[in-house]
Structure 1
Amino acid sequence: MEQKELQQFITIFENSSLSEIEITCEQYSLHMKKPQAHTVVPEGYQPISHHAGPQHIHAQPAVKVDSGTKTITSPIVGTFYRTPSPDSPPYVEVGDTVHKGDVVCTLEAMKLMNQLEAEYDCEIVAVLADQGALVEFGQPLFEVKPL
């Protein structure tokens, strides 16, 4: 991992709501944890649960799912975009053949647009994230069939 990539991971993590993250691949392992603040909660308080619906980065190693397909997961926390711009067609559609290095989507993190590239030749079986959705680290974005 280069110094610039490491600094980007640290900056994204510091500005995220995550308290801990671990990134592991063949070449390196990175573990970051924010100090926990102690919160005083009033008696009888019920917390409310909230759900949030070009730099090149590589997809995380695929996770195996049913029927010989794999998933391409998000390597960062950010906003998922299927298109390079609002007026452009999607990078990929269901049924498209994608080659290693082809851009499959854009992930925006901290005003940086990161293009996610395919790690291997594959066919897009399903798009698992919605345009403009906030995605988490490791969240499945595409179901693919390796070629």
Structure 2
Amino acid sequence: MDLKEIQNLIKFVSNSGVAEVKLETGDIKITIRTTLEGNSPDITYVQQAPMQQPMAAVAPQVPLAVSTAAPVAAATDENSKYITIKSPMIGTFYRKPSPDKPMFVEVGSSINKGDVLCVVEAMKLFNEIEAEISGKIVKILVDDMSPVEFDQPLFLVDPS
């Protein structure tokens, strides 16, 4: 739908006396609202639906931030013996390298220094996050395909 068609649609709706019209075609959504008194101007919202992007090749590895400080306030004393592995960047957290591959790690998995734990996608680059310690995964704190913040806890690891 081009700009001329949208302008014609706005004129038609304002002349028809209809208060609101919603139109969805493919990846474009248009909402046109008018007032019956005609005191305020027409409001037009045009949104383009996000497109599904295929997963790209994995980018260079990024070192993992490991915190030995006190765990998150919501954690109990029971969790204080574990090391929290945090996200080194803002992005989208993925537990597997691609949709058809198995998870990198599960709860109970033994990990060694240098093992890939997850992928964080930032600006279309897929960064492998490696373990900087050896141990056992006790808890995975983030759901697959969830957005993560910088320094957000991702895993609890028992180093013993």
Q: TM-score range by the shorter chain?
A: 0.5 to 0.7
2:133 and 2:122 map into 1 onto residues whose CA distance is: 24
2:80 and 2:153 map into 1 onto residues whose CA distance is: 16
SS at match of 1:87: coil
CA RMSD of aligned residues (A): 1.1
Length-normalised TM-score, structure 1: 0.61
SS at match of 1:61: strand
- Counterpart among 83, 91, 101 of residue 88 in structure 1: 101
Which runs of 5 or more structure 2 residues have no equivalent in the other structure? Answer: 1-57, 72-78
The one-letter amino acid paired with 1:59 is L
SS at match of 2:65: coil
In structure 2, what is the equivalent of residue 120 of structure 1? 133
Q: Given the alignment of the two structures, is residue 104 of structure 1 paired with residue 127 of structure 2, yes or no?
A: no
Which runs of 5 or more structure 1 residues have no equivalent in the other structure? Answer: 1-53
The one-letter amino acid paired with 1:57 is V
2:118 and 2:66 map into 1 onto residues whose CA distance is: 16
Listed one character per residue, the Cα deviations across residues 53-85 of structure 1 (whole Å, up to 9, x for unaligned) are: x22111112244334101100000000000000
1:78 and 1:67 map into 2 onto residues whose CA distance is: 27
Q: Which runs of 4+ in 1 moved over 6 A?
A: none
In structure 2, what is the equivalent of residue 5 of structure 1? none
1:60 and 1:128 map into 2 onto residues whose CA distance is: 15
Structure of greater Rg? 2
Between the aligned residues of both structures, percent identity stands at 49
